[in-house]
Amino acid sequence: MYCETSVLSSLLHNEVFQTVISGLLLFIISQFILEIIIKPCVKIKRLKALLSEKLLLYQSKITNGNLSEEAIKEIKDASSKLLSFAWVFSFRKKKKFQFVDISQNVNGSVMASQSKNKSDLTFSIECLNNLKKYKFLKVTFE
């Protein structure tokens, strides 16, 4: 028993052992920060960029009411991916509902753009204009 505590005590006071343990702890903490904080933030930024890309790509078709089924699917997919990922990884309630509002405006804009009715197209443009309040989302070429 005395031998075991003596070995453990000498091991804990060994500088090489302390250096290895501190390096290991630093690695574990850095991986935790990378996986829990940095990677989700990067993915949300990528999804925001993807949604902006789709909205900019099809902006004229959205506002003119001649959006194809394929384009609608692409835009709705980008919107739903952003909403679902942000819902899981956003810790603040306000942020979560911000992404709900974005998704609702995107879906409203896309669905209203299918109609050739002037009031529906006006609603589609209003939904796009509502998205301008989010600085991280580029929806027009202005």
The reply to whether 14 falls in a domain is no
The reply to whether 129 falls in a domain is yes
16-25, pLDDT tens digit by residue? 888 889 999 9
Beta carbons of 86 and 96 less than 8 angstroms apart = yes
The reply to whether 114 falls in a domain is yes
The reply to whether 97 falls in a domain is yes
Structural domain containing residue 77: 47-133
Confidence (pTM): 0.80
- How does DSSP classify residue 136? T
The reply to whether 33 falls in a domain is no
95-109, pLDDT tens digit by residue? 889 999 999 999 999
The amino acid occupying position 69 is: E
Gap between the Cα atoms of 69 and 110, Å rounded: 10
The reply to whether 128 falls in a domain is yes
The domain total for the chain is 1
Gap between the Cα atoms of 18 and 97, Å rounded: 47
* CB contact set of 99 (below 8 Å; sequence gap of 6+): 82, 83, 86, 87, 90
